[in-house]
């Protein structure tokens, strides 16, 4: 086995989304042989995403010889002074409040962690921080030996929220410059370590906090949350416009509070309408990441600090599928960029 033969073997592995083999697409960074072991470094950047996991398995299956795989994106796709060590920063946004954006953020983060990823969750909703409550996290942030903020951990997630730094029931009144300074400090001064994904729960709307994030942090993808109703969809379009103005890649649209199934009569009801999120995704030519049912258990799990993505049932299944699809879209976006370079 030599490098040329190994690359020929790799040409048998196709990217199912891009429709060509991984060598032709430029997804093989390096191949070398060392004492009979084939080493392959792939340009994959969405750890534990189902599609990229399948690609890696297909590479292993292409060889009878011992093989070791690594994955690394080109330096210009990952280098950043802010959040160094974090591979993917996924912002979860909505055009308006009340659509369950924080619930989506919490369950996306927990779903990715359950897939095996190292995940951080940053509650950037400084006006109404609710992530700690939804995760049952009451531990305050600590400090490292070099005076950086040590994020608490809960449910396998590294967490940061302004709620950790404030006293109980403290009023939150922030103005533009204060918002910028606070968020910048939290991003830069927290010892996040190495993470596969950081989920950022943004405040609703398109104000100072969102602008600070897009100017400061290397966002690799955004998820826009809406409910099916027309007014929420209209506001979600504003969120899409905001990301478009800053050339931030959008991974797709997720619809929350979809069909309600009555537990007593087993009939279904579209309380907030139907299909709004999927229609918006089609109009914007973006992936539809899934529809999450309207389910009282979501509220119950949030109040008890246990993400419903870890529960049995249709709603847990919907969140798990959403997390997997979001990871797949992040991976596809990386691979498309590599193939286009």
- pTM of this structure: 0.93
Task: Supply 47's token pair.
Answer: 């750890």
pLDDT at position 290 over 70: yes
For the annotated binding site for ATP, the residues are: 95-102
Nearest residue to 93 via CA among 217, 204, 256, 257 = 204
Q: What's residue 17's pLDDT?
A: 97
Structure tokens at 157: 């997630």
Check if the beta carbon of residue 7 is closer than 8 Å to that of residue 28.
Answer: yes
CATH class, range 86-340: alpha beta
Angle subtended by helix axes 208-216 and 176-189, to nearest 10:
40
C-alpha distances in angstroms, 81 versus 188, 194, 212, 340?
9, 13, 15, 25
Higher pLDDT, 8 or 84: 8
**pLDDT value at residue 168:** 57
Q: Counting Cβ atoms within 10 Å, is residue 59 exposed (0-12), middle (13-18) or buried (19+)?
A: buried
Q: Which residues belong to CATH 3.40.50.300 in the chain? A: 86-340
Which residues participate in the annotated binding site? Answer: 95-102
pLDDT at 319: 97
Third-level CATH fold of 3-72: GMP Synthetase; Chain A, domain 3 (3.30.300)
Provide CATH 3.30.300.130 ranges for the chain: 3-72
Cα 243–chain centre separation = 15
How do residues 268-283 score in pLDDT, each as one tens digit? 777 776 788 999 999 9
pLDDT digits (tens, 9 = 90+) for 34-59: 999 999 999 999 999 999 999 999 99
So what's the pLDDT on residue 103? 95
Q: What percent of the chain has pLDDT over 90?
A: 61
């Amino acid at each position: 086995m030599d490098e040329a033969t190994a690359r020929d073997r790799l040409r048998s592995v196709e990217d199912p989304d891009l429709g060509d083999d991984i060598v032709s697409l430029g997804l093989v960074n390096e191949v070398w042989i060392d004492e009979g072991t084939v080493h392959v470094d792939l340009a994959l950047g969405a750890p534990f995403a189902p599609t990229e996991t399948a690609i890696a398995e297909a590479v292993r299956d292409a060889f009878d010889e011992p093989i070791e795989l690594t994955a690394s994106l080109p330096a210009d796709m990952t280098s950043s002074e802010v959040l160094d060590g974090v591979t993917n920063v996924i912002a979860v946004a909505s055009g308006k409040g009340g659509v369950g954006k924080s619930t989506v953020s919490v369950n996306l983060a927990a779903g990715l962690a359950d897939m095996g990823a190292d995940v951080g969750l940053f509650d950037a909703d400084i006006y109404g921080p609710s992530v700690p409550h939804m995760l049952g996290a009451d531990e305050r942030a600590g400090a490292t030996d070099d005076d950086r903020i040590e994020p608490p951990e809960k449910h396998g997630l590294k967490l940061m929220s302004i709620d950790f730094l404030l006293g109980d029931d403290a009023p939150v009144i922030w103005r533009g410059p204060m918002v910028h300074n606070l968020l910048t400090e939290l991003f830069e001064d927290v010892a996040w370590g190495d993470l596969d994904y950081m989920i950022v729960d943004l405040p609703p709307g398109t104000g100072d906090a969102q602008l600070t994030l897009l100017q400061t942090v290397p966002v690799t993808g955004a998820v826009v949350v809406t409910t099916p109703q027309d007014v929420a969809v209209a506001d979600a379009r504003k969120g899409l416009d905001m990301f478009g103005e800053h050339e931030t890649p959008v991974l797709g649209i997720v619809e929350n509070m979809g069909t309600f199934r009555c537990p007593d009569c087993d009939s279904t009801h579209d309380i907030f309408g139907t299909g709004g999120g999927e229609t918006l995704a089609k109009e914007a030519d973006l992936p539809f990441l899934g529809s999450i049912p309207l389910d009282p258990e979501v509220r119950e799990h949030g109040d008890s600090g246990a993400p419903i993505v870890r529960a049995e049932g249709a709603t847990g299944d919907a969140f798990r599928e959403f997390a997997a699809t979001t990871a797949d879209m992040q991976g596809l976006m990386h691979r498309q960029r590599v193939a286009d370079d």
